[in-house]
Amino acid sequence: MTVPADPAQHPAATAARYDLPVTFQPVVTRAVLLVLAVAIVVVLTAVAVLMPHEGASPWSTAERATVVGTAVLIGAGLTLLSRPKAVADPDGLTVVNLTVRRRLAWAEVLRVNLGHGDAWVRLDLADGTTLAVMGIQPGIAPARALRDARRLRELVEALGEAPAV
């Protein structure tokens, strides 16, 4: 790795100056989803175990396995919904959405958008496309989302090659 001549351009100096790396994620939403996932798995597993083995309408092993399997699938789905985040570091931005992870250099990000009523932040990219950043979503915590969107916008303007708009 070659160290830039200007010490201010060194990645360590950049990281210290902008307090990087920083992770943007919907903490409250994530906590609610993960607690709900665990609760559903525990409750439905307990129901499957506690249902009668004998009597007028006993549960078979297949029925119990179906209930537990359904609980695990619901828990996995809720865990997947808790995955979104964005990680900013001196070299760029990593956006993790539900099933897609994308790494962007700062110069690729032209603008950060969060309009009234938007479900999450959108990035305008240099290739003419937009990318959702589901890690910044105003649903449960709008003040935090607005603060995170402003912080990301400041990082894009400071570290990217795009002019401030």
- Write the secondary structure of 61-99 as one string of H (helix), E (strand) and C (coil): HHHHHHHHHHHHHHHHHHHHHCCCEEEEECCEEEEECCC
Residues β-bridged to residue 124: 111, 130
What CATH number did the domain enclosing 90 receive?
2.30.29
Instruction: Identify whether 2 is part of a domain.
Output: no
Both 129 and 144 in a single domain?
yes
pLDDT value, residue 13: 59
pLDDT in tens, 16-68: 677 889 999 999 899 999 999 999 999 999 999 999 888 788 899 999 999 99
Both 21 and 99 in a single domain?
yes
H or E segment at 102? strand 101-105
Both 102 and 143 in a single domain?
yes
Both 95 and 115 in a single domain?
yes
Its domain, for residue 35, covers 30-81
In the chain, the number of structural domains is: 2
Both 105 and 124 in a single domain?
yes
Whole-number Cα distances in Å, 97 to 25, 40, 92, 129, 130: 10, 23, 16, 16, 14
Both 118 and 148 in a single domain?
yes
pTM of the model: 0.76
